[in-house]
Structure formats: structure tokens, C-alpha cells
Amino acid sequence: GAVVSQHPSRVICKSGTSVKIECRSLDFQATTMFWYRQFPKQSLMLMATSNEGSKATYEQGVEKDKFLINHASLTLSTLTVTSAHPEDSSFYICSAITGNVVFNEQFFGPGTRLTVL
């Protein structure tokens, strides 16, 4: 299957700072990328849908000014957590699709563990 990478895999930051997480599709062009977050022992919650060259679509309850998403190219989407607080500590996972409507072609990255002190 296609490979999606995330960087960094783990980040610890101080409260009030901003953190950028990168999601890259390594061997395919991703017309759409999704950002999820997962709290311990809970399901993956979709935060936003990111389409190349356009503004991200955020799910209800997700602050777009806090979680800035940029999908600058067909292989890269970034999630910036601005003015991070301890409650933002979570596991953030991106996924990417090729534009094909075959449902199982949604490939997930390995995730980024964010800890805000």
C-alpha cells in the first residue's frame, strides 16, 4: 500500500507555544488529507478535511484558528497547533486518499504524540 509519513513522531512543548506537524504522502499524490486526534482509550475523532490548494473544512467543535491546516502541495499537509495548552495533548493522526473512490485507499500516517507541559 501507499506510505504516509508524519513528522515529528513525538513532541513535547511548553504551554503557549505553537507546534507544527507535517503529513506527507511519500509515493502518491494526495488530493485530500484528513486530520484526526485520539485521546487515550477513545476513538479517532476527525478534526478536519484538507484539500490541496483550498481551505480546510473543519468538523463541528474544532477551532480553526487554533488548529491551522495548510495543504500546500499534493504530497504535504501541515497541522499547526497554536498557543498549545495541556488539554491539546493528544495523538494526532493524518490520513490521505488518492482521489480514488475505493474506500480502503485511505492511508494513515503513524501519528504524532503531542505533550503540552
Give the residues lining the site for other proteins (CB under 8 A). 1, 4, 6, 9, 32, 34, 36, 41-46, 49, 91, 93, 95, 97, 101, 103-104, 106, 108-111, 113
Please identify, using beta-carbon distances, which residue of 46 and 82 lies nearer to other proteins. Answer: 46
CB of 3 to other proteins, least distance (A): 11
Closest listed residue to residue 21, CA positions, set 93, 75, 88: 93
Query: Strands, E, within 15-88: which ranges?
Result: 19-25, 32-38, 44-51, 57-58, 67-73, 76-81
Please identify, using beta-carbon distances, which residue of 57 and 83 lies nearer to other proteins. Answer: 57
